[in-house]
Structure 1
Amino acid sequence: MSYKNIVLIAVFLSFSVSQAQELLSKENAIKLALENNYGIKIAKNKVKIAENNASIYNSGYLPKVTANAGANYNNNSSEFTSQSGDKSEINDAESKVYNASIGLNYTLFDGLGRTYNYKKLKETYNLSELEAQAIIENSVLQIFATYYNVAQLTVDAINILESLKISKQRLERANYSFDYGQSTKLQVLNAEVDVNNDSIRYINTQRFLANSKRDLNLLLGRSVTANFTVDMDVSFNLIFDYQNLLEKAKSHNIEMQKVTKNIELSNFDIKINKSGLYPTLNFNSSFGFNKYDNDITFTNAEQLSKGLNAGVSLNWNLFDGGNTKTRIQNSKIVADNLQVQKEQVENELERSIANALEIYNNALFILNSEEKNVETNKRNFSRTEEQFKLGQITSIEFRQAQVNLFNAQSNFNLAKYDAKNAELKLLQLSGELLSQEF
């Protein structure tokens, strides 16, 4: 493929991607994700399940009411022989029986197991909310990483187009110089190679950019073919104190909150298992009636009975072979393990915050250094360009200055978004990610 065809493709891509694109702000991206992200939707549905489980209808506090009804038909023939040998018979004796009843059963006392189980269900619901929040936080981090990747590739594409423009001007200059006998064909060929390389780099960057946009659309739960541009500006919170971050993390970090909630749940498990040591008191009541319709072969043509029954029953499992004792002991061990896990999470959190803060500070230092490199390379390229136009340096030296400038711009662009992602990680660890305005 000739360099002219490559340039045409690059220009076409540049024109096509600029058409009919919405500006997707960071705020709108998060809003779309909270509404449409598949993982977040599933997490929210799990919260709804936990909410249903924590309802009064699943608590055991409400009585059980049952209703029964039935009807029977009998048609029998009987033959009788008395002690004296006399025989008699009844043929086709019909009877109909109707019955109905309604009963109520209620547990008056179960060793408080029902009470603690209901409280556990409430805390399980709270834990499900924390787990959903953790999924949302991780999704937000992933969305921002992809969002800033789109921004980085967009800026890279702009810089490559500028570099391609410079390379094309150099090629035109080389062709004019060759036509007028002021340069060799080698300089023209070198310029063509550089135009080709810049064009290929641009095409590849556009491909990476398109892929990254599709990745972001997938995370936002919308059509992957939707085209858009992003906000390429970022701002930084330059003041982060380790102790302040650590204190916030101990109160607001999701993993810390989850392990604390699990400790509360384990304490309820101990109390629930201990309830097996106490008796259970149940109340039972029912109201019913029975009606018999008989033919003339029966003494009574009709019989009707109805009435109310009520009572209480006490059940106390005095010894169950040690099963209850074993459950209590095991639940206490689980609670001890969770305390150990909490200490581990605290130590890991201290380590993670220290590492993340150092990464962030290093990223800011690199960002400042790369910004200075860009300014230095701009001045260097400007002077090199003047010297090249005056014929004081070779095209190879000019190309090297051009490449140095592009690399400096690319490194600064990468450093900017790396620093922002490092800041977001700090905010997640301290539990402040979802409270930020983006």
Structure 2
Amino acid sequence: MKQIKCTLILLFFVSLGYSQNQLTKKEAVNLTLENNYGILIAKNNIKIAENNSSVFNTGFLPKVTASSGINYSNTSSELTSQSGTVTNTDNAEATSYSGAIGLNYTLFDGFGRAYNYKKLKESHNLSELEAKAIIENSLLQVFSLYYEVARLSEDTKNISESLAISKQRLKRANYAFDYGQTTKLQLLNAEVDVNNDSIRYINIQRLLANSKRDLNLSLGRNVTTDFNVDTNVTFNSLFDFNTILEKAKAYNVEIQKLDKSIILNDFDIKINKSDLLPTLNLTSSYGFSKYDNDATFTYADQLSKGLTAGVSLNWNIFDGGTTKTRIDNSKIVADNLQIQKEQINNSIERSIANALEVYNNAIFILQAEEKNVETNLRNFSRTEEQYKLGQITSIEFRQAQINLLNAQSSLNQAKYDAKNAELIILQLSGDLLNVEF
């Protein structure tokens, strides 16, 4: 008993040592968007896709190259004519200098570059949708953790109040026992109940601390940061299935991602077909070369410079059927994507129906639990009065106390279950990021 009291006192002073900042839902959203690790990685992936969709990555711009060099030679030679005359040249020295700048440009490639450029733009759009999906899932996770902290906070408050009631009952039992108005058994029962409530309070404090650390991790901040949360929640009074379904078809991120994949595959077909057409390339260069020779050479200096240019046409008339195979496979992928679209549309419709049923049931349970708490509050209030008057036993009083605590806990669970169910509906309809928290 003394050990439990010491533990509770320690927990109290430890809690005072932390700053209890109020973390609102809006602040949690902002912190998630700014610091969540998965979202930060997704944003960087968008930057990569943006770089890839630049004109510098499409082949539309020409390639310009430059080269230069210097060479030195020192040779000895022996030349024999047809008449037998031998001519020797010893240590003939020559130095050459060269430089050139060239330009290569594809004038026509069967429209492959144009289709590839459009595909890269759509890939950038797809990366934004993938980031949006990550943001939605991250927000769902954050709110699930946020509401778990809220639930445990309210449970902690209720258990603390129940512990205070048990301590007051133990105090009354001690007085009654001292004056011979109760038995030792009733005093021991009161002590056991205080111990059980103390253990329950310590356990809920541990769960609450763990949940706060989990939430801090998702928010991308120091996990030891302490805070309070807003335990108030509001609900959408009514959801219409057809309205949600229409929104989902237009704004659900998974459907939008699949639509982008269909567009990308269409460009793949066009890019592969462009390989059936000829390519026209332009090449040009301007260069010079200079030789410095010693007296053994006929010419002391040699200099040449000039421009060269040309156009080449290449047409892969038959490549063994590899291009045809790529085109056929891309068309099959297009068929698969259409099948997947039909599947995901049906899956979304089923998910919306399930989510609505879960939400409506959760709201019904919430309303029932609210009435249950009201009933248990009245029951406990009357039981407490009867206990003080000695009209009921401590066991009956304890049972009323436990019933009230269980009802309060069930109400908290039902409240946040209903809110999480509502968030699932908002995600399915594509409205999650449009909600004012």
TM over 0.5: yes
Paired AA for residue 366 in structure 1: I
Paired AA for residue 349 in structure 1: I
CA–CA distance in 2 between the matches of 1:405 and 1:189?
A: 22
CA–CA distance in 1 between the matches of 2:31 and 2:19?
A: 20
- 2:35 matched residue in structure 1: 36
What are the residue-to-residue correspondences of 1:188-199 with 2, within 5 Å?
Answer: 188-199=187-198
- 1:345 matched residue in structure 2: 344
Does 2:50 align with 1:13?
Answer: no
Paired AA for residue 40 in structure 1: I
Q: Which deviates more, 219-228 or 347-356? A: 219-228
Q: CA deviation at 1:35?
A: 1.1
Paired AA for residue 72 in structure 1: N
CA–CA distance in 2 between the matches of 1:16 and 1:82?
A: 108
- 2:284 matched residue in structure 1: 285
Describe the superposition over 1:85-106 as per-residue Cα deviations: whole angstroms up to 9, x where unpaired. Answer: 2222111111111111000000
- 1:147 matched residue in structure 2: 146
Paired AA for residue 256 in structure 2: Q
CA–CA distance in 2 between the matches of 1:7 and 1:421?
A: 37
Q: CA deviation at 1:15?
A: 4.2
What are the residue-to-residue correspondences of 1:56-67 with 2, within 5 Å?
Answer: 56-67=55-66
Does 2:93 align with 1:94?
Answer: yes
- 1:84 matched residue in structure 2: 83
What are the residue-to-residue correspondences of 1:146-165 with 2, within 5 Å?
Answer: 146-165=145-164
CA–CA distance in 1 between the matches of 2:283 and 2:399?
A: 94
- 2:168 matched residue in structure 1: 169
Describe the superposition over 1:322-354 as per-residue Cα deviations: whole angstroms up to 9, x where unpaired. Answer: 111111100000001000000000000000000
Q: CA deviation at 1:429?
A: 0.4
Q: CA deviation at 1:17?
A: 2.0
**Aligned sequence identity (%):** 70
- 1:405 matched residue in structure 2: 404
Describe the superposition over 1:127-179 as per-residue Cα deviations: whole angstroms up to 9, x where unpaired. Answer: 01101110110000000000110011011000000000000000011111110
- 2:311 matched residue in structure 1: 312
Q: CA deviation at 1:193?
A: 0.5
Q: CA deviation at 1:59?
A: 0.7
- 1:383 matched residue in structure 2: 382
Q: CA deviation at 1:14?
A: 3.5
Paired AA for residue 259 in structure 1: L
Does 2:115 align with 1:116?
Answer: yes
SS in 2 for 1:69: strand
Describe the superposition over 1:51-94 as per-residue Cα deviations: whole angstroms up to 9, x where unpaired. Answer: 11101110110101111111110111111222222222111111
- 1:295 matched residue in structure 2: 294
Q: What is the TM-score when the length of structure 1 is the normalising length?
A: 0.98
SS in 2 for 1:260: helix
Q: CA deviation at 1:20?
A: 1.4
Q: CA deviation at 1:391?
A: 0.3
CA–CA distance in 1 between the matches of 2:306 and 2:227?
A: 76
- 1:253 matched residue in structure 2: 252
What are the residue-to-residue correspondences of 1:172-183 with 2, within 5 Å?
Answer: 172-183=171-182
Describe the superposition over 1:290-317 as per-residue Cα deviations: whole angstroms up to 9, x where unpaired. Answer: 1111111111111111101111100001
Paired AA for residue 411 in structure 1: S
Q: CA deviation at 1:319?
A: 0.6
CA RMSD of aligned residues (A): 0.9
Gaps of 5+ in 1: none
What are the residue-to-residue correspondences of 1:224-235 with 2, within 5 Å?
Answer: 224-235=223-234
SS in 2 for 1:17: helix
Q: Which deviates more, 263-272 or 19-28? A: 19-28
CA–CA distance in 1 between the matches of 2:307 and 2:8?
A: 90
SS in 2 for 1:195: helix
SS in 2 for 1:335: helix
Q: Which deviates more, 202-211 or 231-240? A: 231-240
CA–CA distance in 1 between the matches of 2:290 and 2:237?
A: 87
Paired AA for residue 304 in structure 2: S
CA–CA distance in 1 between the matches of 2:14 and 2:370?
A: 31
Q: Which deviates more, 23-32 or 81-90? A: 81-90
CA–CA distance in 2 between the matches of 1:356 and 1:82?
A: 101
Please list every run of at least 4 consecutive aligned residues from structure 1 whose deviation after the TM superposition is greater than 6 angstroms.
none
Q: CA deviation at 1:367?
A: 0.5
CA–CA distance in 1 between the matches of 2:404 and 2:6?
A: 24
CA–CA distance in 2 between the matches of 1:11 and 1:213?
A: 21
- The size of the alignment, in residue pairs, is 436
SS in 2 for 1:277: coil
Q: What is the TM-score when the length of structure 2 is the normalising length?
A: 0.99
CA–CA distance in 2 between the matches of 1:10 and 1:348?
A: 50
